[in-house]
Amino acid sequence: MTSKITVVASEVRVNDHIYSGTGTNAHPTFAWETITEVRSEDGLILLITGNLKGPHGEFWFEPDEQLVVIRYPEPATPAAAPAPTKHGHGHGHS
């Protein structure tokens, strides 16, 4: 289940989704882009969507500026499997 939440820009995480406006496609689901990098530059927060080497979007915010993001829950980390125990077969040689 996803959550649409309001956070300050300094709390945005990689993999959050940011609304980038309707752009050329009026379908509302295409207006949300995945954040691939979060940087702090010159006292501002830079959010990057897409691949830096290819087409990407840049969004600049004040660190305490509020914005709405869609955040997916963190995947559950599986419990560590118990280490296999070594059962020795006591074949003593005398």
pLDDT tens-digit readout, 69-91: 999 887 777 665 555 666 666 66
Domain residue limits at 60: 3-71
CA distances for 90 relative to 15, 85, 93, 94, angstroms: 54, 15, 9, 12
Residue 51 belongs to some domain of the structure: yes
Higher per-residue pLDDT: 10 or 91? 10
pLDDT at residue 64 in the model: 97
Name the burial class of residue 50, with classes exposed (0-12), middle (13-18) and buried (19+) by CB atoms within 10 angstroms of its CB. middle
pLDDT at residue 91 in the model: 63
Q: What is the mean pLDDT of the chain?
A: 81
Percentage of the chain beyond pLDDT 90 is 48
Closest of 23, 93, 33 to residue 69, by C-alpha: 33
Going by C-beta distance under 8 Å and a sequence separation of 6 or more, which residues neighbour residue 3?
70, 71, 73
Tell me how many domains the chain contains: 1
pLDDT tens-digit readout, 27-69: 555 678 999 999 999 999 999 998 778 778 899 999 999 999 9
Residue 77 belongs to some domain of the structure: no
Give me the CATH number covering residue 49: 2.30.30.30
Neighbours of 35 (CB within 10 A): 19
Task: Write down the pTM of the prediction.
Answer: 0.68
